[in-house]
Amino acid sequence: MRKPRPMPSSMNTIDRLLIVGFQKHDRREFRFDPRVPVLAGPTEIGKSSIVRMLRLILLNVTPKGDYVSWGFDRNHAFGLLTFSDGRRIVRRKGPTVNSYRVDGKEVLGAVGKAVPRAVADLGACGPVNFAGQHDAAFWFCLSPGEVARELDAIVDLAVIDRSMAFNAKRLREAEAAEKLTVERVEVARGRRRELKWVVAADRDLREIEAKLDQLDQLDRVCEGLAVMIEEGERAGERLRHARKALHAAGKAVSAVDPAVARKVEDLETLIGRGEEAAEALAAAGKRLARAEAAIAAVADCPLCGRPRT
């Protein structure tokens, strides 16, 4: 026969029951199976007395009629209930005795039908845990409404309903938040695809900025060249006047002193070179003016199409 699995260590169960001077039992000790204990025996052997002692200990329910064993030398019944964790409840009940002891300490509260708090906490059971000998099978013959009422006597079903409603609400909120998040992610991905051009545009902008820096440098060079060309033109004009004056003076001097005439010729040669340089500067000035006019003619940026400032 297969050995039953042990119960979880966290579950506290009844381990032993000692009955002394109660109904059919003068002194009897019973050990309970941790899973499904079964009471079996002939009629009037005392099976119901075991259940009544359990009810007396755990529910403070006194049996009707005489319950102290006939001929027992004491005037009260005695019950010792031991649990699987080693804790114990001692119950004494008689015409002059009504006491509880939990783990060796006297406890109060066994007045009327009241169960002491320490006993109720340790036993953790109620009337629903006990069935009569002729009762119907536990809950199997009840209607759904009756089963719900019986469950509600053990567990507050309203708490379960509120918890389920609260969890359902939180679930709906979480699903709505998830849907909104997914939609936002899709929108963000679409924006990312739309803004792919930004990387290339940034690279082009950096190149444009570098070209603008170069253009600024060229503008400064052109401004310097324009000043030089203007000064060259004025110098060329002065050189032409000086050359005419020198040529007229040279004719007069050459007849008097040939050496002076040669120096005049050399000076005219130098003046001629200066005039050539002035003409070259003037030509460069014209090219520079045409380049500036071409740049000014470009009204819009060829890349972005915006007006050029």
Question: Could you tell me the sign of the dihedral formed by the alpha carbons of 98, 102, 105, 109, in that order?
Answer: negative
Is position 66 within any domain? yes
Separation of alpha carbons 83 and 239, rounded Å: 131
What does the pLDDT read at residue 297?
67
Residue 197 lies in a domain: no
The count of domains in the chain is: 2
30 bridge partner residues: 17
Q: How far apart, in whole angstroms, are the C-alpha atoms of residue 300 and residue 305?
A: 5
Choosing from 90, 124, 158, the residue where a domain stops is: 124
Domain's final residue, options 73, 100, 124: 124
pLDDT value of position 111: 67
Residue 302 confidence (pLDDT): 59
pLDDT value of residue 1: 40
- Computed over every residue of the chain, the mean pLDDT equals 79
Give residues with Cβ within 8 angstroms of 29, minimum separation 6: 16, 17, 18, 19
Would you state the structure tokens that stand for residue 259, as one six-digit string?
Answer: 């050496």
**DSSP H stretches of helix in 95-196:** 117-123, 144-154, 157-194
What is residue 132's DSSP assignment?
Answer: -
The predicted structure's pLDDT at residue 169: 93
**In-domain check, residue 157:** no
pTM for this model (two decimals): 0.45
Task: Return per-residue pLDDT of the chain as tens, 309 residues.
Answer: 445 555 555 678 899 999 999 988 889 999 998 888 888 888 888 888 899 999 999 998 888 888 888 766 678 889 999 999 999 999 998 888 888 999 988 876 566 778 888 888 888 888 877 776 666 666 677 788 888 887 777 777 778 888 889 999 999 999 999 999 999 999 999 998 888 888 888 888 888 888 888 878 877 877 777 777 777 777 777 777 776 776 666 666 555 566 666 766 766 677 777 767 777 777 777 777 777 677 666 656 655 666 655
Say if 203 falls within a structural domain: no
Residue at 154 is within a domain: no
What CATH number is associated with residue 67? 3.40.50.300
Task: Please tell me the distance from the alpha carbon of residue 284 to that of residue 282, in angstroms, as a whole number.
Answer: 5
Residue 268: which of 247, 299, 288 has the closest Cα? 247
226, burial (CB in 10 Å: exposed 0-12, middle 13-18, buried 19+): middle
Domain final position from 124, 149, 164: 124
Q: Does a structural domain hold residue 151?
A: no
Locus of tokens 């007849």: 255
**80 lies in which domain range?**
14-124
Dist. CA 77–CA 97, nearest whole Å:
9
Residue 256: predicted pLDDT: 55
Distance between CA atoms of 224 and 69, rounded to whole angstroms? 133
Task: Cite the DSSP H helix spans in the chain.
Answer: 47-58, 117-123, 144-154, 157-194, 197-254, 258-297
Domain assignment present for residue 282? The answer is yes
Q: Is residue 153 one of the residues assigned to a domain?
A: no
